[in-house]
Chains A and B, each alone.
Chain A
Amino acid sequence: MQAKECCESCDFSEFQLNSDAVYREGTGAHEGAATCLGASMFAWGIGLTIAIAIIAGVIHQSKAND
């Protein structure tokens, strides 16, 4: 009822915009948490890639020696 009264007295797009803005607030904190976890895991990914590259290099080298 309250929302209906608001929509009758004001422009609906303005109402929608305002409620969307309030809904989106907090995205910064959400993104901060997701980026934090991502960065910690991505660094692990780099380590794994380097380890795989080193192992692949060692295997390649030992095969070449055979």
Chain B
Amino acid sequence: MINQLLGLFIIFTIFSQASEPFCYFVSPKKWEVTTPHQRASHVKIGFIGKGKKGFHPSLNLASEAVTLSLTDYVKQVKSMHEADRKNHWRDLGKYQTASGEGRLTEIDTTTEWGATRLLQLLFIKERRAYILTACAIKEEFGDYYQEFQKAFRTLTILSDPLEALPHSPIKEALQKKINSYKQEPNHWESIQKIILNDYIDMGACWQIFTLKALKEAT
């Protein structure tokens, strides 16, 4: 019992060193992670699917520190998008995610590919905004709508990535490896293996962010 509490304390200490809460979502299956140089500074991760006509659907997660309430943040974002006359912004109302209620919005714009639609979920928790954005050409948007919705609903904010995992012998093994990682850095490889092989269902976003959080904390 004391050992378990000590283990939990070590894990909490490791992850609480990170400045931002742990946030993830489950991306559609078989979508690929975009390379970091393709992302702006607030964008944490991006995924790309296979398009039918060349313009590939994509999805990304951004976050930023805020002082505004969700209602005011939505107004601010609306004015930013509407500053470009090509954009047509629409509020689609409240939206339930795994971590609470956000706001779903839609932006119609035009690109070289013609009419393009973006779906944007805005969510605020503890003075931080989390933004999930998905896009596809308008003509194909209906084909991806369910996948976008499914991904948006999985938006989860936690203080520790292991909180997302159900209790299991694999989780216990992972916790033990993390606890001893500072003393035994050669455990890194087995930590990676457990996260990448045994938790595929958690999605690439959780896997990448968990490994990153662990690396940064040690």
Which residues of chain A have a CB within 8 Å of any CB of chain B? 21-22, 25-44, 47
Contact = CB atoms under 8 A, between A and B. Distances in A.
A33 B58 contact: no
Interface residues of B, number: 46
A14 B64 CA distance: 21
A39 B122 CA distance: 20
A34 B40 CA distance: 8
Interface in B98-128: 107, 109, 111-113, 116, 118, 120, 122
Given A29-B131, A34-B40, A40 B62 contact: no
Contacts of B136: 40
**4 A-B pairs closest in CB distance:** A28-B64, A31-B40, A32-B133, A32-B62
A27 B39 CA distance: 13
B46 to A, nearest CB: 5
A33 to B, nearest CB: 5
B81 A43 contact: no
B107 A33 contact: yes
B23 interface: no
Given A32-B132, A36-B60, A40-B135, 13 more contacts: A26-B80, A28-B62, A28-B131, A29-B129, A31-B62, A32-B42, A32-B62, A35-B38, A35-B39, A35-B62, A42-B38, A43-B51, A44-B113
Interface in B39-83: 39-43, 46, 48, 51, 54-64, 66-68, 73, 76-77, 79-81
Given A30-B81, A47-B54, A25 B66 contact: yes
Contacts of A30: 77, 80-81
Interface centre among A25, A36, A37 (most CB of B within 10 A): A36
A27 B64 CA distance: 8
A25 B63 CA distance: 10
22 contacts: A22-B67, A28-B43, A28-B131, A29-B131, A29-B133, A30-B80, A32-B62, A32-B120, A33-B133, A35-B60, A36-B134, A37-B109, A37-B116, A37-B118, A39-B34, A39-B38, A39-B58, A40-B135, A40-B136, A41-B111, A41-B113, A47-B54
A22 B112 CA distance: 33
Contacts of A21: 67
A25 B176 CA distance: 40
A36 to B, nearest CB: 4
Nearest to A31: B40
Given A32-B43, A33-B107, A40 B77 contact: no
